[in-house]
């Protein structure tokens, strides 16, 4: 690594450390950033697969053979059943920072259903969380190119790369750890006179690492990922059913800080490799690889409304994009790189050819720096159209030009132009909130074509540990005042709806829709000091557009990342299953305000006999989400016991599904 690159990387991590420290202080007082208590990507895959992703009983009876290798680049969420027997760890390309190649395996405090482990206990006690366990591996013999028995003389090594924390909001504590075990004796039945004893798997600990912040880890190692080489020398491991496993110990915040009891102690693994004929210097698995996924072609956003793009395409498309790639070999490779973009459905295709370049070994230059590869131009504009939306497929290709070489890499991504603005990529890595009653959060967006109509605001809420939080808040829109939020031009009291899978945004329809011009801001004002748990994307950074206000002054966010809040502009949009309207057409209440103690309730389109047959109930909640009245459905409700104030009334069926909701005021 040359001195310039060393200096840049070291200064970058030092700055990251300073930002983390400052963010931690400011965050505890005003802004709050925590880990998630539910992984929506895992939850969605579990629901989609209905268990089909899991190994069925007896399928691990046939061991795999060496070489054993996994770089976790399949983007499959769960570990591959070809090499692993459990589904607790999480394959992703969001959390690792400067991984060996695109994708890594993350061990954390969330189980294979996407929820916090039931064994999770408040700190400082640690508990065992994720496991990543290999299939049985034959270490007694190899069969190609010539069958032979294996012995310690064949010099077997297991190697892997690891990293604590990554992009996660919380780092593993010093008492947290990542552990590697080797199987010494497989589970079996031991027969004794008159009885049979079931003996469980017996394991031997081979390696462990204590928890650390990522910035500290980098400063101590001068590397983002550290490689570990484990020699296999004990004859006890040379058998037909060898196995290894990784697992992690996790500690949570104390019970006095329940809002901080979230997913933490994350570890990232990459390039797990087991083979014979290795030594401690055999640290290279030759490959040309992309490190980060395809970036957006847009200058400011991950996605934006197609008509708004078409109004100023020249300024919305980037001049160049940033591609991170590396040569993980000890030799240089004369390589070619290019990418193409095609419109889904046809009608547009464009490409870029970066030519050929001699990519040096990562030992000399960790990441490719030549302009045409690392910062390729975007020599075209996406087409202008009268359509409301468009989707484009981006494909990036890297390959070695050496005769007979098969090393290279391909990655794909999507550029979406729909009816909303988004800085985020749709995947949360943390939860964001404010800690004071009355605090405000504003998120800045800018129109090209003014005026336009703000139809709705989409928000992504991470589920809380108890999954019962229902803190009402004011959904707000502000105009612009010299680069910061100005006057409030829209405000409506609403409640959050928490996600159970990826991309499940709640859509709040504005009633009536709001005409906006130029720069505008969307966000919320809190009615309590409780954590609202809005999804936070740490992969993309738009913190300069995030503003919070607790004591009358607007401040820029201290956290690097993007809020998962998306304003919807343009033509009218239909209602969906995760949509909430300002005035729910499913229920009507009168008189409102109520001073008599009796509310009259109507659910248009529903037969009164059906609602009154014991299948439905009325639930009244206050601003804090506390249930103040619960009774079987009737066309009238006695609310005389309620104090003056604002309340929410819901009609639910036995399954808890809302038929309708409405606000009402008690005023005597």
pLDDT tens per residue, range 202-260: 999 999 999 999 999 999 999 999 999 999 999 999 999 999 999 999 887 544 444 44
Answer whether 382's CB lies under 8 Å from 269's CB: no
| pLDDT of amino acid 502 | 46
DSSP 8-state code for residue 602: E
Residues above pLDDT 70, as percent of the chain: 82
> For every residue of 464-514, which 3-state class applies, written as one string?
CCCCCCCCCEEEEEEEEECCEEEEEEEEEEECCCCCCCCCCCEEEEEEEEE
| pLDDT of amino acid 198 | 82
The residue among 46 and 557 whose pLDDT is bigger is 557
Residue 667 has pLDDT above 80, yes or no: yes
| pLDDT of amino acid 8 | 39
The pTM score is 0.81
Residue 469 has pLDDT above 50, yes or no: no
Answer whether 238's CB lies under 8 Å from 184's CB: no
| Domain 289-417 matches domain 430-581 at the CATH topology level | no
> What's the mean per-residue pLDDT of the chain?
85
Give which of 328, 322, 393 is closest to 363, Cα–Cα. Answer: 328
**416-427 pLDDT tens trace:** 999 999 999 998
Mean pLDDT of 604-619: 72
Q: With both helix axes pointing from N to C terminus, report the angle between 3-29 and 214-221 in degrees, rounded to the nearest 10.
A: 160
* CATH architecture classification, 430-581: Sandwich (2.60)
28-32, 162-166, 197-201, 592-596, range with the lowest pLDDT: 28-32
Mean pLDDT of 2-9: 42
Residues above pLDDT 90, as percent of the chain: 58
Most confident of 60-64, 325-329, 621-625: 325-329
| pLDDT of amino acid 3 | 45
**Band (5; pLDDT cuts 50, 70, 90):** very low
| pLDDT of amino acid 602 | 85
Residue 578 has pLDDT above 70, yes or no: no
Q: How buried is 406 (Cβ within 10 angstroms: 0-12 exposed, 13-18 middle, 19+ buried)?
A: exposed
> For every residue of 368-413, which 3-state class applies, written as one string?
CCCHHHHCCECCCCCCCCCCCCEEEEEEEEEEECCCCCCCEEEEEE
CATH fold group of domain 588-666: Immunoglobulin-like (2.60.40)
Extents of the domains making up the chain: 37-283, 289-417, 430-581, 588-666
Residues 6+ apart with CB under 8 A from 58: none
The residue among 476 and 50 whose pLDDT is bigger is 476
* CATH architecture classification, 37-283: Sandwich (2.60)
Residue 583 has pLDDT above 60, yes or no: no
CATH fold group of domain 289-417: Immunoglobulin-like (2.60.40)
Structure tokens at 406: 């098969």
| pLDDT of amino acid 468 | 42
């Amino acid at each position: 690594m040359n001195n310039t690159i060393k200096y840049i990387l070291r200064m970058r991590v030092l700055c990251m450390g300073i930002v983390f420290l400052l963010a931690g202080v400011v965050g505890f007082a005003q802004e709050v950033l925590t880990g998630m208590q539910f992984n929506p990507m895992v939850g969605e895959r579990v629901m989609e697969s209905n268990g089909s992703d899991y190994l069925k009983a007896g399928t691990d009876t046939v061991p795999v053979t060496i070489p054993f290798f996994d770089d976790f680049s399949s983007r499959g969420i769960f570990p591959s059943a070809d090499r692993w027997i459990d589904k607790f760890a999480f394959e992703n390309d969001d959390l690792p920072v400067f991984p060996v190649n695109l994708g890594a395996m993350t061990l954390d405090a969330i189980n294979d259903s996407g929820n916090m482990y039931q064994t999770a206990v408040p700190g400082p006690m640690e508990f065992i969380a994720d496991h990543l366990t290999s299939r049985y591996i034959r270490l007694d013999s190899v069969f190609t190119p010539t069958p032979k028995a294996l012995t310690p003389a064949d010099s077997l090594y297991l190697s892997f790369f690891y990293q604590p924390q990554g992009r996660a909001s919380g780092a593993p504590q010093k008492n947290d750890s990542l552990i590697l075990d080797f199987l010494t004796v497989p589970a079996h039945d031991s027969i004794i006179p008159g009885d049979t004893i079931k003996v469980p798997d017996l394991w031997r600990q081979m390696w462990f690492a204590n928890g650390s912040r990522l910035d500290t880890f980098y400063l101590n190692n001068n590397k983002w990922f550290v490689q570990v080489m484990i020699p296999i020398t004990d004859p006890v491991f040379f058998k037909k059913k060898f196995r290894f496993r990784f697992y992690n110990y996790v500690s949570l915040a104390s019970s006095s800080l329940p809002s901080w009891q979230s997913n933490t102690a994350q570890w990232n693994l990459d390039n797990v490799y087991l083979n014979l004929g290795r030594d401690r210097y055999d640290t290279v698995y030759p490959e040309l690889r992309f490190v980060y996924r395809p970036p957006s072609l847009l200058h400011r956003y991950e996605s934006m409304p197609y008509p708004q793009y078409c109004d100023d395409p020249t300024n919305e498309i980037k001049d160049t994009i940033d591609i991170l790639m590396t040569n993980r070999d000890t030799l240089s490779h004369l390589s070619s790189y290019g990418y193409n973009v095609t419109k889904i459905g046809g009608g547009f295709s464009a490409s870029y050819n970066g030519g050929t370049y001699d990519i040096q070994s990562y030992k000399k230059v960790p990441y490719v720096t030549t302009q045409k590869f690392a910062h390729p131009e975007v020599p075209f504009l996406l087409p202008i159209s009268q359509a409301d939306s468009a989707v484009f497929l981006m494909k990036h290709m890297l390959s070695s030009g050496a005769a007979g070489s098969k090393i290279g890499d391909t990655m794909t991504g999507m550029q979406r132009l729909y009816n909303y603005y988004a800085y985020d990529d749709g995947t949360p890595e943390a939860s964001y909130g404010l800690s004071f009653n009355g605090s405000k959060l504003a998120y800045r967006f800018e129109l090209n074509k003014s005026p336009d109509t703000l139809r709705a605001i989409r928000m992504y809420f991470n589920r809380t540990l108890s999954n019962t939080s229902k803190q009402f808040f004011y959904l707000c829109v502000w105009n612009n005042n010299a680069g910061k939020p100005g006057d409030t031009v829209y405000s409506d009291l609403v409640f959050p709806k928490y996600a159970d899978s990826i991309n499940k945004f709640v859509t709040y329809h504005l009633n009536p829709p709001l005409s906006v011009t130029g720069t505008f801001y969307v966000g919320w004002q809190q009615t309590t000091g409780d954590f609202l748990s809005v999804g936070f994307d740490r992969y993309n950074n738009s913190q300069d557009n995030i503003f919070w206000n607790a004591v009358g002054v607007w401040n820029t966010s201290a956290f690097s990342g993007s809020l998962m809040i998306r304003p919807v502009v343009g033509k009218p949009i239909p209602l969906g299953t995760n949509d909430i309207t300002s005035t729910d057409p499913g229920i009507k209440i009168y008189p409102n305000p109520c001073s008599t103690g009796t509310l009259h309730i109507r659910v248009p389109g529903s037969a009164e006999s059906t609602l009154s047959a014991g299948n439905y109930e009325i639930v009244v909640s206050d601003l804090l989400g506390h249930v103040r009245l619960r009774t079987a459905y009737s066309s009238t409700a006695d609310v005389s016991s309620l104090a003056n104030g604002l309340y929410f009334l819901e009609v639910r069926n036995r399954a808890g599904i809302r038929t309708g909701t409405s606000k009402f005021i008690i005023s005597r």
